[in-house]
Every structure is written in structure tokens, then in C-alpha cells.
Amino acid sequence: MPNHDVIIIGGGPTGLSAARALVDLGISDVVVLEREAEAGGIPRHCGHLGFGWQSHKRFWTGPRYAAELRKSTRFLDIRTSATVLELGNDGTVRIQNNSGISELKAKQILIATGTRETPRAARLVSGTRPQGVMNTGALQQHVYFHGNKPFSRPVIIGSEWVSFSAILTCRHLGIRPAAMIEENATISAPRPGDLVARFVFGVPVRTSTKLLNIVGRSNVEAIEIEHQNKREQIICDGVIFTGLFKPEKALLPMGELPESITLAGNVLEPLKTSGECWQQGRIAAEKIAARLL
């Protein structure tokens, strides 16, 4: 079985930055495994501006940032469409790719599998199950990858940074969300985000408001909300569940992590900007290099 110095699982900002940093530190036998057909991670489908400041002192769109990350690692062994199925405590990695299942081994493994938003199901939301209910990540892919317009007047559930990304994605489609719904008394993103949403994007922000119910047979027709013990309906044709990020930790072995496995980026602590992930990747690389050298 081929034995490498480092295998990095996940080719997003954390994984790519770690790979690059490892090479810069003199460790060149590094393999990055990315399950999508293209490395770059979440920024690939964040079509709006706001990426690259921490790493490159630039103000890029997500796809541009992802492309720059790929460029900085283009001479590295990055294997796309490679899904890691299982991780052994001894450094073996079971991989699926186009030709079947194989195994690789490494002295050190970096898990940089990132994060995803909590979907409707895990939030245990009442109501019917019509089409047009999705997370921001799925919406972005619909819009920026495939040019789809899944709805024209959605509501946004949540008010984190990513919720504003959902507004921007809607704006790219030329549609205006019917409302942003936040259960807490203030929005999760820093103020004056609520004012920006309302006055720049024309999206009413409803704080202290609970989503009760999704209504609609085949497509979303409305949501029911509760505010100060009063119920009302908001007519809409889609629901975007934003944020409540969960680390993508399915590969983590049970129990304590062995010395040979390191975690970095969003899988370690959810909801970081891609810039922070990039920095964490570098720190993880230093740690791993110190173990190897």
C-alpha cells in the first residue's frame, strides 16, 4: 500500500492552504483527497464578493478565491472525485473513486472536511414537505453552478453571516426574499446587518419570531410564524434554512484521536470565514510538519 507523509481529507480553503504550507515547510509527499469533481470547497459556490482578504489582501468572489487556491496548489497531488469512506486508527484511508475502492496510508492525516448547514429535517420543523425548501449551500449551487431559479419569493430562516449570503444569492437571481426570520431578539450577524437587509436589500427582518409551520402541497405556499404570541402567515414559494453549521465529522473515529490525526478548519470549530480556515490550515500544517521532521 502506498505510504505518504500526509493525507489531507478535504480540498477546501483549510485543506488546500495546509497542503501548500506543508510543501513550503519541506514536506512534499502530500495527497489531498477531495470528493467533489473540483477542489476549492464552499467558496466555489459563493458567487458574491468577500473572499481573499486574510490570505491575499484582495477582495474577490468565492469562485475567484477558490480558483486562486487551486492555482497556488496546482503542482500538488490533488485527487478529486475521491471519496474517503473510512479512516483507520493506523493511518489507512479507504477511498472510493471512479475505478472502485482502494486504500492509502499516511504517517499523518489532516481532516479538513468542513461544515454544512443544518437542514430542515434535523430542525424538526412542522408542516408539509413541498419542493423549494433548501439550505443556502444548495441554493448557491442551483444559482451559481446551474443557473436555476428554484423560487421567486422565498423566506430566509436565520440571520447569521450566511443568511446574508442567501440574500445576495437571491439578489443575483433578481428576486427579493419575503422576509428574514430570526427566533432571537437580535440578529445573529453583527448589527447593522438588520438595517442593511431592510434598507439596502429591502428584506424585512423579523426578530423574536418563530417559524411554526411550512404550508404547501407540491410547492411551498406559505409559512406560519409566531411573534409575541400572535400567529400569522407569510406568503412565499420557498424556504431557505440558513446557518446552524454542523461540522462534517462523519469520518471521525470514535473515542480519542490518535497522534496521527489532526483536525482543522470548520470541522473543528464551526462557522469560520474562509480566511480563518486558510489560516488554520497553515497552523495545522506547522503542527503536522513538526511531528514529521
Partner 1 sequence: MQARFDIAVIGGGVVGLAVLRRFAMVGLKCVLLERGADILSGASKGNSALLHTGFDAPLRSLEIRCMRTGYKEYFNIRDKLNLPLVESSGLVVAWTPDELAALPAIVEKAHKNGVTDARQISAIELRLKEPNLAKSALGAVLVPGEHIIDAWSAPLAYAHQALAHGAAIMRSAEVTNGDFSKGIWQLQTVQGAITARIVVNAAGNYGDFVEAIARPSPFTIKPRKGQFVVFDKPAYKLARAIVLPVPTARTKGIVVFRTAFGNLAVGPTAEDQDDRELATCDREALLQLKARAIEILPALANIDVTANYSGLRPATEHKDYVIEALADRNWITIGGIRSTGLTAALGIAEYVSALYGKNFGELPKKPSKSVWTPVPNLTEDRIRPYMKGGEIICHCELVTRGEITAALDGPLPARDMGGLKRRTRATMGRCQGFYCSANIAAIAKGHFDAKP
| Footprint on this chain of partner 1 (rule: CB under 8 A) | 35-37, 81, 83, 85, 96-101, 116-117, 119-122, 124-129, 131-132, 134-135, 137-138, 141-142, 145-146, 148, 150, 217-219, 246, 250
Cβ proximity of 77 and 31 under 8 Å: yes
Which residue, 92 or 97, has its beta carbon nearer to partner 1? 97
Residue 162: burial class (beta carbons within 10 Å; 0-12, 13-18, 19+): buried
Report the nearest approach of partner 1 to the CB of residue 35 (Å): 6
**Is 79 or 246 the residue whose CB approaches partner 1 more closely?**
246
Strand partners, 93: 87, 104
Q: How far is the CB of 138 from partner 1 (least distance, A)?
A: 5
Shortest Cβ 144–partner 1 spacing (Å): 9
| Nearer to partner 1 among residue 100 and residue 190 (C-beta) | 100
- Work out how close the CB of 202 gets to partner 1 at its nearest, in angstroms, rounded to a whole number: 24
| 165-189 CB burial, b ≥16 within 10 A, e <16 | bbbbbbbebebebbbbbbbeeebbb
> Toward partner 1, which CB reaches closer, 7 or 125?
125
Q: Which of 111, 112, 38 is nearest to 73 (CA)?
A: 38
- Choice between 178 and 205, CB closer to partner 1: 178
Report the sign of the C-alpha dihedral through residues 283, 285, 286, 290, in that order.
positive
Could you tell me whether strands 133-135 and 238-241 are parallel, antiparallel, or unpaired per DSSP bridges?
A: parallel
Smallest separation, CB 109 to partner 1 (Å): 19
Of 139, 8, 126, the residue nearest 76 (C-alpha): 8
